Amino acid sequence: MNDIILLKLGELVLKGLNRHNFEEQLMQNARRRLQHCGGKFKVYTKQSITYVEPTEDSCDVDAAFEAMKKIFGAVGVCRSRACEKDKDAMLAAVREFLAPQLAAAKTFKVECKRSDKTFPLNSIQLAQYLGGELDEAYPHLTADMHHPDLTVYVEVRDDAAFVHGDVEPGAGGLPVGMGGRAVSLLSGGIDSPVASWMMAKRGLSLEMVHFFSYPYTSEEAKQKVLDLAGLLTPWTGRLVVHVVPFTAIQEELRRSCPEEYFTILMRRFMMRIAAQVANRVGAEALITGESLGQVASQTMEAMHCTGAVTDLPIFRPVVGMDKEEIVRISRKINTFETSILPYEDCCTVFTPKHPKLKPTLKQCEEAEAGLDVEGMVTAAVEGIERVRIGWGEA
Ligand code: ATP
Ligand code: MG
């Protein structure tokens, strides 16, 4: 018999009647990821636990375990060993499967669950038997019912018994797709991959938009953004990156607008274009990696001016976070090393020497008055290149 993976479901079990949809979404997301883990897995949910069961020798359980730790909606993940429904087979499975944990712990307890009521011992009797045997077999271990170093879990189900040790933390959050769809503005920096990850964690499925200023920014800079999207896919699932040709807009702004407004106007164009992409793909919100006060275009007044070009809600999940906090998450989700690669960003190329810190909406509109805003947006949207990023393609 093979090892099986258990996902403990989090918040979503609180969702009352909607719970079934949450479980279905989580299982669907899990099944998609498992397609990349060798053979076929069976995925099903019972009593707030999703079971991921390998059905063929070709199943890569290690890879599946790593993949399941990145499924939003699960608060805990553990590997479990299946064995025969016989008390001594269970004892042998515990001793073999949990050998390193049993050696490291000083105190332990055994918790049993019996969903197969035909099994001759009840949960308490089984726990007493296994606890007694383990206590005897490992002189360094003492039973502790309240704060044990190690809890040995044994579950007797219809088809087999399962043993496992402590549960590792899962990704938390809500299953991707439950909250709808949003367009995330992905630059090559540290903040926007973190912002994207945070909103995917709240159950949004993402479409990425990247503004590309060739030849001011290089092919490598674009590839870096595609790599960042690839690094997010273990959490978000496959992604489409809409690469928007942005050079013409930037050149037009430089030609015909006051320099101090350059950044804020450019960001207004980004929002307009992202909103059009949202409209095309059926997304209902925009996401940015803006953090209050971090740079000139991220003052409250500037955010008011950029947000004013669209009716869509704009989610800025890192708005109240310090750089340190954002960096900590970016390290955790493995995007940091790629984010700090030194390629030019479309914003840094054209940065004005003295950007307007507190622009007003009226000033922005006046500065844009001579532009064919609609025509510029339409041309950019028509030039979009859609790049598909499969799961784990970094
Ligand atoms: P980041 O680390 O995410 O690049 P930042 O601190 O460099 O953020 P800005 O460059 O002002 O800040 O960008 C603010 C936000 O605008 C970004 O987080 C991102 O959501 C969006 N953005 C900026 N440049 C681009 C771009 N070239 N393509 C797509 N989105 C962008
Ligand atoms: Mg940036």
Q: What pLDDT score does 197 carry?
A: 98
Q: What pLDDT score does 223 carry?
A: 95
Instruction: Check pocket membership of 210 for ligand 1, CB cut-off 6 A.
Output: yes
Residues 76, 107 within the same domain: no
Instruction: Check pocket membership of 211 for ligand 1, CB cut-off 6 A.
Output: yes
Residues 49, 153 within the same domain: no
Q: What pLDDT score does 354 carry?
A: 82
Residues 323, 259 within the same domain: yes
Q: What pLDDT score does 12 carry?
A: 55
* pTM score, whole prediction: 0.92
Signed CA dihedral, 227, 229, 230, 232: sign only: positive
Which residue among 124, 159, 194 closes a domain? Answer: 159
Q: What pLDDT score does 187 carry?
A: 94
Q: What pLDDT score does 163 carry?
A: 95
Q: What pLDDT score does 11 carry?
A: 63
Q: What pLDDT score does 295 carry?
A: 77
Q: What pLDDT score does 15 carry?
A: 62
Residues 322, 352 within the same domain: yes
Residues 98, 205 within the same domain: no
Strands 180-185 and 204-212: parallel
Q: Whose CA is nearest to atom 31 of ligand 1?
A: 187
List Cα–Cα distances, 96 to 11, 80, 88, 103, in angstroms: 33, 12, 12, 11
Q: Whose CA is nearest to atom 1 of ligand 1?
A: 189
Q: What pLDDT score does 159 carry?
A: 79
Q: What pLDDT score does 281 carry?
A: 97
DSSP symbols for 119-186: SSS-HHHHHHHHHHHHHHH-TT-EE-SSS-SEEEEEEE-SS-EEEE-PPEE---SB-TTTTEEEEEE-
CA of 347 to the centre of ligand 2 (A): 7
Q: Which atom of ligand 1 is nearest to the CA of 291?
A: 6
Q: What pLDDT score does 265 carry?
A: 96
CA of 289 to the centre of ligand 1 (A): 6
Q: What pLDDT score does 297 carry?
A: 75
Range of the domain at 384: 180-389
Q: What pLDDT score does 191 carry?
A: 97
Residues 73, 152 within the same domain: no
CATH number of the domain bearing residue 5:
3.30.70.1510
CATH number of the domain bearing residue 122:
3.30.2300.10
Q: What pLDDT score does 43 carry?
A: 97
Residues 190, 301 within the same domain: yes
Q: What pLDDT score does 356 carry?
A: 82
Question: Does residue 151 fall inside a structural domain?
Answer: yes
Residues 39, 102 within the same domain: no
Q: Which atom of ligand 1 is nearest to the CA of 185?
A: 30
CA of 344 to the centre of ligand 2 (A): 9
Residues 6+ apart with CB under 8 A from 370: 256
CA of 154 to the centre of ligand 1 (A): 49
Residues (pLDDT < 70) of the chain are 1-2, 11-17, 345-349, 392-394
Which residue among 144, 175, 206 closes a domain? Answer: 175
Q: Which atom of ligand 1 is nearest to the CA of 288?
A: 20
Residues 186, 171 within the same domain: no
Residues 171, 184 within the same domain: no
Instruction: Check pocket membership of 297 for ligand 1, CB cut-off 6 A.
Output: yes
Candidate from 187, 277, 357 with most ligand 1 atoms within 8 A of CB, to mutate? 187
Residues 6+ apart with CB under 8 A from 338: 224, 227, 228, 231, 394
Q: What pLDDT score does 392 carry?
A: 65
Q: What pLDDT score does 369 carry?
A: 94
Q: Which ligand has its closest atom nearest to the C-alpha of 297?
A: 1
Question: Does residue 394 fall inside a structural domain?
Answer: no
Q: Which ligand has its closest atom nearest to the C-alpha of 192?
A: 1
Q: What pLDDT score does 115 carry?
A: 85
Instruction: Check pocket membership of 190 for ligand 1, CB cut-off 6 A.
Output: yes
Q: What pLDDT score does 293 carry?
A: 86
Q: Whose CA is nearest to atom 11 of ligand 1?
A: 297
List Cα–Cα distances, 328 to 190, 236, 335, 349, in angstroms: 10, 19, 10, 27
CATH number of the domain bearing residue 346:
3.40.50.620
Domains in the chain, number: 3
Q: What pLDDT score does 346 carry?
A: 62
| Rounded Cα–Cα distance for residues 193 and 281 (Å) | 20
Residues 109, 221 within the same domain: no
Residues 6+ apart with CB under 8 A from 377: 269, 272, 273, 276
Residues 65, 139 within the same domain: no
Q: What pLDDT score does 287 carry?
A: 98
Question: Does residue 266 fall inside a structural domain?
Answer: yes
Of 147, 161, 193, 174, nearest to 318 (Cα)? Answer: 193
